Structure 1
Amino acid sequence: MVAKLYEISERYKNLDELLDNPDLENVKEDIEKSLNKIDEEFDVKAENIAKVIKSKEVDSKGLDEEIKRLQARKKAVEHQIDSLKDYLFEHMRMLKKQKIKGSLFTLSIRKNVPAVNITDEETIPEKYRIPQPDKLDKVAILENLKKGIEIDGAEIKQTMSLSIR
């Protein structure tokens, strides 16, 4: 049975703690050999996990490409739907047909719900405007913090992550 990464880590940690025990001076060499063996096992397991990660990244990229392809296909189908509706609408209007009752569908020309059409946004009175919340410019804040400029309420945060190349 192949050990899990957390099990390998736990064994390594336990053996490492044993090295600090002064009562075990005569077995330190055996403990160090075991640590080396566990360390190698950990490295192999970690590399295998990295292989799985890379495989999943390839899968994810493929899914992104498939999503783009399907979105383009959806847009084309929606355009075809709109074109067919416009075609049918124009010809029904031309023939002054308000309603067609078929065996599967009933087609009719109707008025849509009234909507606002803004012809000149600048002339609209202030009472019809909705204020938007302001947004912080984090790029400018970071640039200034890097230059040594102190900004109340902001600091540079440096995190660490795993890199697989």
Structure 2
Amino acid sequence: MNDIDTLLHEHNIDKQEIEELLQQNEKLQAIKLVFDKTGLGLKNSKDIVEAIQRKETHYTEDNSSSNSNVSVKTFSKNGQLTVKLKLNNQPEKVVFPSDPDWAEVKRIMGDKPELIAYEKEYLENPTKFQSQKNTLFIEDEGSRKWKVVLLAAVFTIVIIYLIYSNS
């Protein structure tokens, strides 16, 4: 159990400001304020604001999500599911059930039917996915921009060549 007043004082947050936001039905703004100033994560920030709303003096910190900057994306292409995981500041990567980070995917996504089917299919025939592993690469936003710039440069050179060759 953590004392709310102590936490607010440590982070220079005015409890009255949170209470005023709650009175104005601006609960999301109150949560954002706590989230931005404490860095505790969204769930803990919400729990603190709701404890203040209930006039409680303590809250229980949720430590179950130690990686607050974790995201999982799934998409299907040609009937083949792909699972991508982004941990903290690391680049996004494709994850398979044999990957050590698969446990994190399962923790976040739970027992979604498509994920269970994907895992079962992978475990039954991992060689089917081997070609997918060999052709995968990590692409960040910066490399996409360079591809566009390079394509534009090549296009410009071709146009200039065509103009001068016809003169």
TM-score (norm 1): 0.31
Instruction: Select the structure with the greater relative contact order (CA < 8 A; seq sep ≥ 6).
Output: 2
Higher normalized strand content (fraction of residues): 2
TM-score (norm 2): 0.30
Higher normalized helix content (fraction of residues): 1
Larger radius of gyration between Structure 1 and Structure 2:
1
